[in-house]
Amino acid sequence: MAERDVRREFVGELGTALRELVDAAVRTEVPEEELADVATAVRGLAARLRAETRGLHDIASVDDPETGERWYSPVYGPGNPVAPPMVATDSPDGRAEGRVTVGKAHEGPPGLVHGGVVATLLDHVLARAVRAAGRGGLTATLTITYRRPVQLGVPLLATAEIGEGEGRRTTATARLVAEDDPATTLAEAEGLFVALRPERAADVFAPTGRDVGAWTSRG
Nearest to 179 by CA among 110, 52, 54, 87: 87
24-28, 69-73, 161-165, 202-206: range with lowest mean pLDDT: 202-206
* CB-based contact 95:159 (threshold 8 Å): yes
Q: Which amino acid is at 142?
A: L
82-114 confidence digits (pLDDT tens): 999 999 999 999 999 999 999 999 999 999 999
Whether residue 211 is predicted with pLDDT greater than 70 in this model: the reply is no
Assess whether pLDDT exceeds 60 at residue 219.
no
Domain ranges across the chain: 1-219
CA distances from 197 to 68, 167, 213 (A): 16, 11, 10
- Classify each residue of 98-118 as buried b or exposed e, where b means 16 or more C-beta atoms within 10 Å of its C-beta: bebebbebbeeeeebbbeebb
Fold exhibited by the domain 1-219? Thiol Ester Dehydrase; Chain A (3.10.129)
pLDDT in tens, 141-156: 999 999 999 999 999 9
Distance CA(37)–CA(42), nearest Å, equals 9
Measured between alpha carbons, how far is 97 from 194 in angstroms, rounded to an integer? Answer: 21
Please provide residue 128's backbone torsions phi and psi, each rounded to the nearest 5 degrees.
Answer: -65, -40
C-beta separation of 68 from 210 below 8 A: no
Span 50-61, average pLDDT: 93
**Residue 45 burial (CB count, 10 A):** 11
Residue 167 CA to residue 106 CA, distance in Å, equals: 37
Residue 17 confidence (pLDDT): 98
